[in-house]
Structure 1
Amino acid sequence: MRIGLLALALGVVTLAASACGDQTAQTTPGGSGSDDSQLEGRTFLSSSVMSNGKPYPLVSGTQISLWFPEDGRLVANAGCNTIGGEKVQLSDGKLSASGLGMTEMGCDAPRHKQDEWLVGVLEAGPTWKLNEATLTLTSGETVLTLVDKKVAQPDLPIEGTKWAVSTIYTGDVASNTAGMDKAFLVFADGKVTGSTGCNRLNGTATISGSEITFGPIATTKMGCADPLMQVEKSVLLALEGTVPFSIDSSALTLNHPKGANGLGLTGTAQ
Structure 2
Amino acid sequence: MRTIAVAGAGLLLALTGCGNESGAGAPDAGSLTGRTYLSSAVTEDGRTKQLVPNSRVRLTFTDDGRLIAEAGCNSMQSPVDTGDGKLAVDEQLQVTAMGCDDARHKQDSWLSGLLRSGPSWTLEADRLTVTSGGTTITLTDRETAEPDLALDGTKWSLETVVSGETASHQAGSEKVWITLNGDRVTGSTGCNELQGKVARDTGKLTFGEIATTRRACAGDAGKLEQTLLGTLEGTVTYEVDANRLELRAAGDGLDFTGAR
TM-score, structure 2 normalization: 0.78
Equivalent-residue separation in structure 1 for 2:212 and 2:196 (angstroms): 9
Deviations along 1:112-151, whole A, 9 cap, x unmatched?
5544544454344433211222101233443221112222
Distance (whole Å) between structure 2 residues aligned to residue 120 and residue 173 of structure 1: 25
- 1:214-241, Cα deviation, whole Å (9 max, x unpaired): 1222222222334323222222221112
Superposition map of 1:122-161 within 5 A: 122-161=115-154
Going from structure 1 to structure 2, the CA distance change for 1:200 and 1:128 (only over 3 Å counts) comes to: same
Q: How does 1:1-270 map to 2 (within 5 A)?
A: 1=1, 3-4=3-4, 6=6, 25-26=25-26, 28=28, 34=29, 37-80=30-73, 82-86=75-79, 88-97=80-89, 99-101=91-93, 103=95, 111=104, 114-170=107-163, 172-257=165-250, 259=251, 262-269=253-260
Change (3 A) 1:39 1:240: same
Answer yes or no: is the 8 Å Cα contact 1:5–1:174 preserved in 2: yes
Q: Which amino acid aligns with 1:247?
A: V
Q: Distance in 1 between matches of 2:85 and 2:101?
A: 35
Shift of 1:162: 0.8
DSSP 3-state at the match of 1:235: helix
**Counterpart-to-counterpart distance in 1, 2:225 and 2:150:** 24
Q: Which residue of 1 aligns with 2:20?
A: none
Secondary structure in structure 2 of the residue aligned to 1:39:
coil
Cα separation, partners in 2 of 1:118 and 1:265, compared to 1, 3 Å: closer
Assess if the C-alpha contact under 8 Å between 2:4 and 2:98 holds in 1.
no
> Quick check: 1:84–1:100 contact (8 Å CA) kept in 2?
no
Q: Which amino acid aligns with 1:145?
A: T
Provide the C-alpha distance between the structure 1 equivalents of 2:102 and 2:173, rounded to a whole number of angstroms.
32
SS in 2 for 1:38: coil
Q: Which amino acid aligns with 1:266?
A: T
CA distance in 1, matches of 2:184, 2:70: 38
Report the number of matched residues.
245
Q: Looking at CA atoms only, which structure, 1 or 2, has the larger radius of gyration? A: 1
Letter of the 2:149 partner, please give it: L
Partner AA of 1:228 in structure 2: A
- Say if 1:251 and 1:141 are closer, same or farther in 2 by CA, change over 3 A: same
| Structure 2 CA distance for partners of 1:25 and 1:93, relative to 1, 3 Å | farther
Q: Is the 8 A contact 2:187 2:195 kept in 1?
A: yes
Q: Amino acid of the residue matched to residue 84 of structure 2?
A: D
Could you state the TM-score of these two structures normalised by the residue count of structure 1? 0.75
Structure 2 segments unaligned to the other structure (5+ residues) = 10-22
Structure 1 segments unaligned to the other structure (5+ residues): 10-22, 29-33
> For residues 145 and 6 of structure 1, do their structure 2 counterparts lie closer, same or farther at Cα, with a shift above 3 Å needed?
same
